[in-house]
Amino acid sequence: MQINICSDQPQRLRLRCDMGYISLAEARGISSELLAIDGVTSAHAHIQNCAFVIQYTSIQARLDVLAYFEQLDVLNIPTKEEAALDARSVEFEAAVENNRFYVELAFLFARRYVIKLLPLPPAALCAYVVVRAYGFIKKALQTLRTKKLQVEVLDATVIGISIFRKEYISVATIMFLLDLSDAVQRHVSYRSRLALKSGIITRAQKVWKVIDNEDRCVDLNEVVKGDVIHVLSGSVLPIDGEIIKGFADLNESSLTGESRLSHKETGASVYAGTAVEDGDIYVRVNAAAGSARIDAIVDMVEESTALKAHLQSRAEHLSDALVPYSFAAFFVVLLLTRRVSQALSVLMVDYSCAIKLSTPIAIASAMEEASSYGITVKGGKFFEALSDIDTVVFDKTGTLTKALPQLSRTLSFTELSEDETLRIAACIEEHFPHSIAKSITRAAEELNLDHTKELHTKVEYVVAHGIKTHVGDEEVCIGSERFIFDDLGVRRPQNLTLRLAELEHEQGSLGTLIYMSRASELAAVFSIKDPIREDAPAMIAALKSAGIKRLVMLTGDSEKTAREVAQTLGIDEYHAEILPEDKSEFIKQCQREGHRVAMVGDGINDSPALACADVSIAMSDASDIARAVADVSIHNTSLNSPVIAHRISTLLMRRIHEDFYGIVAVNTSLIVLGLLGLIPAIHAAYVHNGFTFAVTLRNTLPLLRDVQAREVQDDRRLGIV
């Protein structure tokens, strides 16, 4: 391939290929292969001019990049279809879109000023304007076919009348401003869609693949069409497929928007992003990861009326409802004054365009801004709900305490050694995505205890209680004290109290205790320490200063542990030793009392409470099922993220209200001035469209700026964000 080096700076190359044009799939393919070269840190493709910007870390990497392009066969360019998005591919897609947007803006401005500066004869100028107006008129006719009178009809009418009045330069200016606003809207919508696409679907990076009739934990990218994966309760399907064995109740809210469970049996199709609430299924894969229904899901989130903010739906309905009144006012003024210029001021200065355009752009921009902080908000509805909350309910373990709790001690109560009991527990717990389970498997790995060979039969997960299975002929159960002793009736050893007292004296506190029984006898007790996160006190204080009146901690831990954590964090209200149904019932009671509740959690046992809260927030280490039902997903480890999400929501609602009052004030003034004959209709149209574009542009600006931005920068310096 022939290449030209456009820019050669230290650790940065800009190359232009002599191919004319490449497709998006080809750009992905080339970029993917460039990123595979040692030392290449980024590779961005500009598909319009067939250019690549590559950043690298060594001289050898630079030479390898040049050698790659030299041997690239223009007749056999590598392609890569869109797959599950990771950080690099999101960055690549964003760079391609930015490039497309800048090219579009350059074209609009160049066309505008070439036409304005060229001394075209009237006939040529008329032909140009008529050709440009065709797109607007076509869109209006398509709208009329649906028997709806909307903003598009209003715009086309104004353009048509202006052409009839031979105001060619003026109508060209109006179309330019409309095109400019549309370009900004498309760009912001695409960027927010990309943010949604990268965050809305929860995908485990590891899956249980059936190999030689055994479950093997493998990377998701090792799964191909035709493979069989084993999916257990509490997990989210990472890929599309068909159930070939077992049955399950699935939460398909991320796919359908409906929260009710769907029962699936052998032969049923299942899709990526749906959560297994209860069941145990084997799924034959029939699509590549991320390429199945992700676009349909994102479309559903974007288009679903249920997920739009109330203000957005109201703005859309109001803008369309105003169009007939604008036409009515036009004819009334025309009849009364017999002057087309005055009547046109009503049509050229309408409320509909600005109202319909400003709110969706504000929400889309806020979604992208939230994404830049590692926060995915699944619809405008949840920004609105977040701005109204007065109560925040927290789970403790993995949310207010560290997401990576550690096993501090294993106490064995049988002839088995502590290491052997830990190995058995890790073998069972590795199937479940909970922070406590991860602490046990991580401890076994640190001690080099091999737990990859399955020792047990089918594992049954009992939500918020524990796990049941069989090792050999003996039933082995792992779970809470209530589950082991009260529900299963395991006998308490006489020395249990004494050994726990000794452990508390040794450690200072017991932490979270997990019990394991074997053949109805207590086999071991695992002490899990989950220290409070360093940024938790600051987050609690920030929420209080933001006006949140009620902060509550709910936990299944003991009263003593819960009280210590609440006092340390400054949380006035807490409830200990409660079950998942107690958490969801508590939230429902708050709602019955008139509170607007946000729930912040991370575990499988939090999913019922997350589902019934007004806004649910899943932290970065949340279980798959918690992330699937959550309205807001956090992708970083910062506890300040819920605070940032609340700030953005509050500022967004303020911006939308300011837009509405500003649009009404400016446009009403222009209409009055036009009716009084104090301003020509075409000049009023300039001001109206210019103001609409200014509002649109303002709504693309970050919400967290000035004081807010400085606070976030301070947080970043401190490592909170």
537-551 confidence digits (pLDDT tens): 999 999 999 889 899
**What CATH number is associated with residue 13?**
3.30.70.100
pLDDT at 73: 79
Per-residue tokens: 159: 């353009």
455: its two tokens: 């020792």
Would you place residue 522 in the very low, low, confident or very high pLDDT band (cuts 50, 70, 90)? Answer: very high
Q: Which of 18-22, 249-253, 342-346, 511-515 has the lowest mean pLDDT?
A: 18-22
- Each residue's pLDDT tens digit, 421-474: 998 888 888 777 666 788 888 888 888 887 666 665 567 776 556 788 888 788
List C-alpha distances in Å: 220 to 34, 211, 645. Answer: 22, 14, 30
Decide which of 128 and 688 is more confident: 128
pLDDT at position 303: 47
Q: Is residue 271 in some structural domain?
A: yes
Q: Does the pLDDT at position 162 exceed 70?
A: yes
Q: Strand 632-634 to strand 615-618: parallel, antiparallel, or no bridges (unpaired)?
A: parallel
Q: Return the percentage of the chain with pLDDT > 90, whole number.
A: 11
The pLDDT score that the predictor gives to residue 176 is 82
Query: What would you report as the CA-atom Rg of the chain, rounded to the nearest whole angstrom?
Result: 30
Dihedral sign from CA coordinates of 47, 49, 50, 54: negative
pLDDT attached to residue 598: 93
Tell me how far apart the alpha carbons of residues 363 and 378 are, in angstroms, rounded to a whole number: 11
Helix (H) or strand (E) holding 282: strand 275-285
Q: Which residues, other chains included, contact 272 with Cβ-Cβ below 8 Å and sequence gap of 6+?
A: 201, 203, 237, 238, 239, 240, 287, 289, 290, 292, 293, 294
- DSSP 8-state secondary structure symbol assigned to residue 205: S
CA 152/CA 682 separation, integer angstroms: 18
**Predicted pLDDT of residue 382:** 87
Flag whether pLDDT at 269 surpasses 80.
yes
Identify which of 51-60, 215-224, 304-313, 629-638 has the greatest average pLDDT: 51-60
pLDDT for residue 196: 60
Check residue 455 and give its pLDDT.
65
Mean pLDDT check: name the lowest of 199-203, 264-268, 332-336.
Answer: 199-203
275: left (phi over 0), alpha (psi -120 to 50) or beta: beta
Q: Which amino acid does the sequence have at 3?
A: I
- β-bridge pairing 474-479 and 466-471: antiparallel
The pLDDT of residue 297 is: 47
- Could you tell me if residue 676 is inside a domain? no
How many Å apart are CA 656 and CA 648, to the nearest integer? Answer: 12
Is there a domain that residue 28 lies in? yes
**Average pLDDT of the segment spanning 366-386:** 85
How far apart CA 242 and CA 267 sit, in angstroms, is 6
Question: Looking at the structure, do residues 410 and 300 belong to the same domain, yes or no?
Answer: no
Q: Which helix (H) or strand (E) holds 383?
A: helix 380-388
State the chain's mean pLDDT as an integer. 78
Q: Which residues pair with 14 in a beta bridge?
A: 7, 53
172-182 pLDDT per residue, tens: 877 887 788 77
Residues 6+ apart with CB under 8 A from 368: 188, 191, 192, 194, 195
- Determine contact, residues 540/553, Cβ cutoff 8 Å: no
Rounded to an integer, the average pLDDT of 39-45 is 79
Handedness of CA 530, 535, 541, 545 (dihedral sign): negative
Domain end among 31, 53, 81: 81
Q: How far is 291 from 85, CA to CA, in rounded Å?
A: 10
What is the residue range of 35's domain? 3-81
Within 10 angstroms of residue 142's Cβ, the number of other Cβ atoms is 10
Domain-located, residue 155: no
| pLDDT, position 453 | 62
> Taking residues 134-158, what's their average pLDDT?
81
Does 276 fall in a domain?
yes
Contact by Cβ (8 Å): 622, 397? no
> 24 pLDDT band (50/70/90 cuts)?
low
Here the CATH number for the domain that contains residue 284 is: 2.70.150.10
Q: Which helix (H) or strand (E) holds 102?
A: helix 87-117
The strand pairing partners of 218, in sequence order, are 207
pLDDT of residue 319: 61
In a domain, 35, yes or no: yes
- Report the distance separating Cα 520 and Cα 516, nearest Å: 10
Number of domains forming the structure of the chain: 3
**632 lies in a domain?**
no
What are the φ and ψ backbone dihedral angles of 268, each rounded to 5 degrees? -80, 145
Torsion of CA 111, 113, 114, 115, to 10 degrees: 80
Residue that wins the pLDDT comparison between 357 and 312 = 357
Position 28 pLDDT exceeds 80 = no
**Chosen domain end from 508, 529, 550:** 529
In terms of average pLDDT, the best of 216-220, 319-323, 693-697 is: 693-697
Q: Which of 461, 427, 487, 465 is nearest to 248 (CA)?
A: 461
Backbone φ, ψ for residue 106 (5° rounding): -60, -40
Q: Identify the weakest region by mean pLDDT among 208-217, 292-301, 310-319, 575-584.
A: 292-301
Provide the residue type at 63 as one letter.
L
* Gap between the Cα atoms of 632 and 195, Å rounded: 13
Name residue 643's amino acid. Answer: V
Asked if pLDDT for residue 711 goes beyond 60, the answer is: no
Beta bridge partners of 209: 216, 229
DSSP string, 530-548: -PBPTTHHHHHHHHHHTT-
Tell me whether residue 436 is in a domain: yes
Which residues lie closer than 8 Å to 603 by C-beta, 6 or more apart? 395, 397, 398, 434, 435, 622, 623, 626
Q: Name the amino acid, one letter, at 545.
A: S
- Residues 299 and 410 reside in one and the same domain: no
Own/partner pairs, 452-460, CB within 8 angstroms, 24+ separation: 452/217, 452/427, 453/427, 454/214, 454/215, 454/427, 455/424, 455/427, 456/427, 456/428, 458/280, 459/232, 459/428, 459/431, 460/280
Residues 6+ apart with CB under 8 A from 414: 421, 518, 521, 523, 524
Q: Calculate mean pLDDT across residues 298-313.
A: 50
Among the residue ranges 81-90, 228-237, 239-248, 485-494, the one predicted with the least confidence is 81-90
Look up the CATH number of the domain holding residue 453.
3.40.1110.10
Predicted confidence band of residue 707 (pLDDT cuts 50, 70, 90): very low
Report pLDDT digits (tens) over 502-513.
888 887 777 788
Long-range interactions of 611-614: CB distance < 8 A, separation 24+: 611/253, 611/259, 611/584, 612/584, 612/587, 612/588, 613/393, 613/587, 614/385, 614/388, 614/389
Residue 306's pLDDT band (cuts 50, 70, 90): very low
What is the value of pTM for the model shown? 0.61
Cβ-in-10-Å burial (0-12, 13-18, 19+) of 517 comes to buried
Task: From 505, 529, 553, give the residue that closes a domain.
Answer: 529
Given a cut of 60, whether residue 86 has pLDDT beyond it is: no
- Range with the largest mean pLDDT of 23-32, 251-260, 508-517, 710-719: 508-517
* pLDDT band at residue 592 using 50, 70 and 90 as cut-offs: very high
